[in-house]
Structure 1
Amino acid sequence: MTVPSDRYANDESDGPTAAFPAGAFDSSGFTAAESVDTRSGPDARPADQWHGSLDFGLFVLRVALGGLMIAHGLQKFGLLDGPGINGFAQVLTSMGFTGPTTLLAWVTALAEVGGGALLVLGLFTPLGAAAVLGVLSNAVYSKFDSGFFAATGGFEFDLFLALAAFAVLFTGSGRIAIDKNTPWRRRPWPFGLAALVLSAAASAAVILLCR
């Protein structure tokens, strides 16, 4: 069967098309997820557009979690009716920590205040969430033998906050944040995973060296 020679004369499949515009593919040949919107007409919208309810929800989550951690950290510095560094060092000793508890108290307080502040601001959010998650992971581990419920001294509340920090690692800060134009806000998965590894390593080091 003979194919007419002019059948593909006007074929422009090697160039940009309406379905796949210029720049739609990266160097690997795969479509870049944020560069192509498969919708058309009035429903079409640019990638990375403002999502009011989602971004506001992430903002509330960050501020609530970060604010709570800042408050607990300030208590360790002796503010807000807290025990101060020396008092918290004694608490750590009673929880089974045998290492340099005064140094550990300083590190914990700084991680809570610093990590909480980063979460509230939405600045270097993966690092802030990792710092908070590291502290809370050790709190859960230390209270594990006391059971689950907070009323009996268990780890219920610490676990809830730890899961919130874990979630922020992989959702990113949202657009109501200083991080709004950063790679780790647009693609939180790889940065969240790296921060999770860092947090887990720090928690494991504290457990192995200070208990």
Structure 2
Amino acid sequence: MAKLLGPRTNDAVVNLWLFIFRVAAGGFMLTHGIPKFLKLIEGNTQFADPFGIGPTLSLILTVFAEFLCSVLIMLGIGTRLASIPLIATMGVAAFIIHASDSFQRKEMALLYLIVFITILVFGGGKFALGRVFRGR
């Protein structure tokens, strides 16, 4: 217990936590990405278009972030790179789509934004498949 709560960083605990954190974050985001992915597959492309690029392309970019990038983060493949589209998507959700909404309405997007910025900063940790591909 002293090792866990002591002043020194325990690398094994940090790497285990990074694994749990990124799998949970990716899994939670998938609950938003899967319905959008199914919507896209069904051909229903009605979606917000905050940048004037068209609702279909906006939906495709959101599915790329919330579905594909979430899976990559869960697997630990290109973790830092995969977090960037999610950071952008959550930034758009919080500061553009929900800009005039109450804090309660944008709170989840802001929380996800902080989570994916944390993943960008700390990476996937030791228990990431990307390390296997890089030969570490």
When the two structures are superposed, what TM-score results if normalisation uses the length of structure 2?
A: 0.79
Structure 1 residue 168 displacement after superposition: 0.9
User: Partners of 2:46 and 2:81 in 1: how far apart?
Assistant: 25
Q: Give the aligned partner of residue 11 of structure 1.
A: none
Report the alpha carbon displacement of residue 180 of structure 1 after superposing the two structures with TM: 3.3
In 2, the alpha carbon distance for the partners of 1:181 and 1:110 equals 24
Counterpart for residue 14 of structure 1: none
- The 8 Å contact of residues 132 and 162 in structure 1, kept in 2 or not, is answered as yes
Question: Whose radius of gyration is greater, 1 or 2?
Answer: 1
What is the DSSP-based 3-state SS (H/G/I as helix, E as strand, rest coil) of the residue aligned with 1:146? Answer: coil
Letter in structure 2 aligned against 1:113: F
Partner of 1:101: 55
In 2, Cα distance between equivalents of 1:124 and 1:107: 18
Q: C-alpha distance in 2, partners of 1:161/1:138? A: 12
SS at match of 2:66: helix
Identity %: 26
Q: 1:89 aligns with which of 36, 46, 67?
A: 46
Q: Deviations over 1:89-139 (max 9, x none)?
A: 24x15xx56431111111211221111011101111111111211111110
Q: What is the distance in 1 between the residues matched to 2:55 and 2:12?
A: 44
Q: Which has the higher contact order (CA 8 A, sep 6+)?
A: 2
Write out per-residue CA displacement over residues 37-76 of structure 1, whole angstroms, 9 at most, x where no aligned residue: xxxxxxxxxxxxx822111111111011111222211101
Does the alignment pair 1:69 with 2:29?
A: yes
Structure 2 residues not aligned, in runs of 5+: 1-9
The CA RMSD over aligned residues, in Å, is 2.4
Amino acid at match of 1:62: R
SS of corresponding position for 2:100: helix
Structure (1/2) with the larger helix percentage: 2
2:75 pairs, out of 121, 141, 147, with: 121
Alignment equivalent of 2:85, drawn from 106, 131, 134 = 131
Between the aligned partners of 2:37 and 2:27, the Cα distance in structure 1 is 16
Alignment partners' CA distance in 2, 1:127 and 1:65: 15
Corresponding position of 1:28: none
Structure 1: segments with no counterpart, 5+ residues: 1-49, 79-83, 187-211
Q: Paired residue for 1:56, among 3, 6, 16?
A: 16
What displacement does 1:179 show? 2.8
Contact preservation (8 Å) 1:69, 1:132: no
**Distance in 1, Cα, partners of 2:117 & 2:93:** 15
Map of 2:108 onto structure 1:
157
TM-score normalised according to structure 1 size? 0.52
Task: Evaluate the alpha carbon distance shift between residue 88 and residue 159 of structure 1 in structure 2; reply closer, same or farther with a 3 A threshold.
Answer: farther
